[in-house]
A and B are shown apart, each in its own frame.
Chain A
Amino acid sequence: MSTYIPSMDAPVEEPALYGLLAEFHDPQSLMNAANVLRKAGYYRWDCYTPFPVHGLDKVMGQRPSILPVVVFTVAALGCIGMLALAWYCNAFDYPIVVSGKPYWGLGPHMFLAFPVTVLASVTTTFYATFIFCKLPIFRHPLFTSERFRRATDDGFFIAVEARDAKFDLKVTSELLNSAGALAVEEVRD
């Protein structure tokens, strides 16, 4: 007999409930259901689509991202920083006459400031986007759902998290069903 008996000090817990996952047929029915959820006062929920559905952010009541502000700030710093570097090197620390040109000239130095501005903004956009999305993350409760694999193919999903104040297994699943869900399933972590 080699049946595994869990010891008393390591109790087997049932995986915690992450929330409810509802599948919808198309972007429009997803959007309508999102509207229902927002009006019902849910806070911790999200839609999952294979491509950006325009207007969904408005229906979900999502605030505009601060990404542009962050990128602009870094870009401006990059631009000023490069001009300052060129000034420091060629006009302040080691002034040297080359072809009789002035030590400092905004025109030619823009050739340097511009690429640095772009470089700063592009790298910031890249990293800030993923940081704001809280990515990379390689383990997520939704990845345990077989059905959810289609969220990157042709599935349209809404997941309501269990930690939402209004979440109730029965009420929420009825709400999702009445909002036109094709299927509703529990997701456990």
Chain B
Amino acid sequence: MTTIEIPQTRLETGYDNTAEDCINREPLITGEATYHAVTKIVCATPEARRAPKIWYVCFTISLMLLCVLFLTIAYQVFTGVGVWGNNSPNAWGFDIINFVFWVGIAHAGTMISAILLMFRQRWRTGINRFAEATTVFSVLCAGIYPAIHVGRPWFAYWLLPYPNIMGDWPNFYSPLLWDALAVGTYSTFSFLFWYFGMVPDLATLRDRAKTRTRHTLYGIFSLGWRGSARHWKIYDRGMIIMGGLACALVMAVSSTVSTDFAVSQLPGWHETIFPPYFTVGAIFSGFATVIALAIPARHLFGLKDLITERHMDNLGKLMLVLSSIVLYIYLIEFFMAYYSGNIYERFAYYNREFGPYWWMGWAMMFCNGVVPQALWFKKARITWWLSLPIALLALFGMWTERFSIIVTSIHRDFLPSSWHMYSPTIIDIGMFAGSFGLFFTLFLLFCRFLPMVAMSEVKSILPQSHTHLPEDCKDAQ
């Protein structure tokens, strides 16, 4: 008689499924791993009569910030871009810093959903929905800035190539046009991908609905999905195609954003390393966001069995890798500035760390390069009160990185007579705070009313979902 031996560590530590043991793979889902249990855990929040108290507090604050966003935008649109702190030579300020910051955050969702899908990383199923939601909402936040940066947003359609009375066309060599297209594509893509993945789970909510309103609403958005195997086959194929496209797109979006800078001839911007630099930084900040949001969400909404410590462990490891690449790129930039022998290039980098904005430069080094190195230790990866501050510091660090790249490069122009400092106005700050309001309002609504974890995907990785083909159908077609 043989008995299955359960590794001792799992029994001792309860939730801990992070042990690396090739023979006894730890389960990705802890607790009661049945199909119905997964449904129950995920549907509990959308079906609850009331959200946790803290949700109402957060939602109120977010709504207030959202009002600030609307008010500042309205004020800016009616008054003009002069309400910002931008000046000459600082033509770009908070508007572009925040745009690049939010686009960066938008990268983790696609990274987790698409690239990990292609690499068949099964642990992604617990967090992909969640990460995709951060993508959709942060692209939306990013999209605000270019739209109002044009100054007269009601003429934003001038970007489009349409036959007009002047008989002219947009200049397709302009990186700003590439940028608009890349971000426009990315926002469309991320929304469709997110919704596409959610259709089967919305059907689950429809079928469990107790009231007519819920049944109708979830019914409309689940498009009448009924889990047909013939549908699943087409759907699965569609998912793979979308994932494959996303892999390329996620690399392209931040690369394109970086050409806004790299194509100019400004020391500090005009660099060939910019596309990978921006992409890695973007994914890094995205992972930091996912960690920062997953920690409260799994505690608050009882998702600890689906978003387990193993997930947090893996996220921490990926963040460590990305942080190390980011640090490497920082150092390479300094080396190249030195090695180029160009005085303007050398000055730009000297100025970044020792100029008037030295504290921004060092904050970026410290928060993005040094602090995440703590993630080498498992304790830092799986202890929430260690990984949460690391993630938040990384987010702050990534914002200072964008500030350093943009402001410190342009505030010292080629001619010292045009040197000028940059400081944001209260409108700039209000708009930035407001964009967090928009993000969190949408994110909290998502947590409250939509399935936060991809149920159908989690169910497909449970051990009992493993099937083998009957012997006599191998030649069937």
Point out residues on A near B: beta carbons under 8 Å: 26-28, 31-32, 34-35, 38-39, 46-63, 65, 67-68, 71, 85-86, 89-90, 93-94, 96, 98-99, 101, 105, 108-109, 111-112, 114-116, 118-119, 121-123, 125-126, 128-130, 132-133, 135-140, 142-143, 148-154
Interchain Cβ contacts under 8 Å between A and B, 16 examples: A27-B467, A31-B467, A51-B457, A55-B467, A57-B233, A61-B477, A65-B237, A89-B172, A98-B171, A111-B178, A121-B241, A126-B238, A129-B196, A138-B224, A148-B226, A151-B227
CA distance A62 to B182 in the complex (A): 37
Contacts of A125 in B (CB 8 A): 238, 241-242, 245
Q: Given A50-B459, A67-B238, A122-B193, answer yes or no on A62-B203 (Cβ-Cβ < 8 Å).
A: no
Q: Give which listed residue, A98, A129, A140, contacts B238 with CB less than 8 A.
A: A129
Q: Do A118 and B226 have beta carbons less than 8 Å apart? A: no
CA distance A27 to B470 in the complex (A): 12
Q: Give which listed residue, A71, A86, A123, contacts B172 with CB less than 8 A.
A: A86
Q: Would you list which residues of chain B between 132 and 186 have a CB under 8 Å from chain A? A: 161, 167-173, 175, 177-178, 181-182, 184-186
Q: Would you list which residues of chain B between 212 and 238 have a CB under 8 Å from chain A? A: 219-220, 223-238
Q: Give which listed residue, A56, A119, A140, A153, contacts B208 with CB less than 8 A.
A: A153
Q: Do B35 and A50 have beta carbons less than 8 Å apart? A: yes
Query: Which of A53, A54, A55, A133 has the largest count of B CB atoms less than 10 A from its CB?
Result: A133
Tell me if B200 is interfacial: C-beta within 8 Å of chain A.
yes
How many A-B pairs fall under 8 Å by CB? 227
Q: Give which listed residue, A35, A119, A142, A150, contacts B473 with CB less than 8 A.
A: A35
Q: Do B238 and A48 have beta carbons less than 8 Å apart? A: no
Q: Give which listed residue, B200, B208, B465, contacts A149 with CB less than 8 A.
A: B208
CA distance A61 to B474 in the complex (A): 10
Contacts of B30 in A (CB 8 A): none
Point out residues on B near A: beta carbons under 8 Å: 34-36, 39, 161, 167-173, 175, 177-178, 181-182, 184-186, 188-189, 192-193, 196, 200, 203-204, 206-208, 219-220, 223-238, 241-242, 245, 248-249, 252, 256, 259, 455-457, 459-460, 464-465, 467-470, 472-473, 476-477
Contacts of B196 in A (CB 8 A): 126, 129
When C-beta atoms are compared, the residue in chain A nearest to B192 turns out to be: A126
Task: For the A-B complex with A71-B241, A108-B173, A116-B185 known, give 11 more contacts whose Cβ atoms are closer than 8 Å.
Answer: A35-B473, A47-B228, A56-B467, A61-B476, A93-B169, A108-B178, A115-B186, A116-B181, A119-B189, A122-B188, A126-B238
Contacts of B171 in A (CB 8 A): 90, 96, 98
Contacts of A142 in B (CB 8 A): 226
User: How near does chain B come to A76, taking the closest CB pair, in angstroms?
Assistant: 13
CA distance A90 to B228 in the complex (A): 49
Q: Do A53 and B465 have beta carbons less than 8 Å apart? A: yes
User: How near does chain A come to B464, taking the closest CB pair, in angstroms?
Assistant: 6
Q: Given A27-B465, A61-B476, answer yes or no on A48-B227 (Cβ-Cβ < 8 Å).
A: yes
User: How near does chain B come to A117, taking the closest CB pair, in angstroms?
Assistant: 9
Contacts of B468 in A (CB 8 A): 28, 55
Contacts of A140 in B (CB 8 A): 224, 226
Q: Given A51-B457, A89-B169, A154-B34, answer yes or no on A35-B226 (Cβ-Cβ < 8 Å).
A: no
Q: Do B470 and A135 have beta carbons less than 8 Å apart? A: no
Contacts of A143 in B (CB 8 A): 226
Q: Given A59-B469, A68-B241, answer yes or no on A111-B256 (Cβ-Cβ < 8 Å).
A: yes
Q: Do A46 and B188 have beta carbons less than 8 Å apart? A: no
Q: Given A52-B232, A94-B169, A149-B207, answer yes or no on A112-B472 (Cβ-Cβ < 8 Å).
A: no
Q: Do B189 and A122 have beta carbons less than 8 Å apart? A: yes
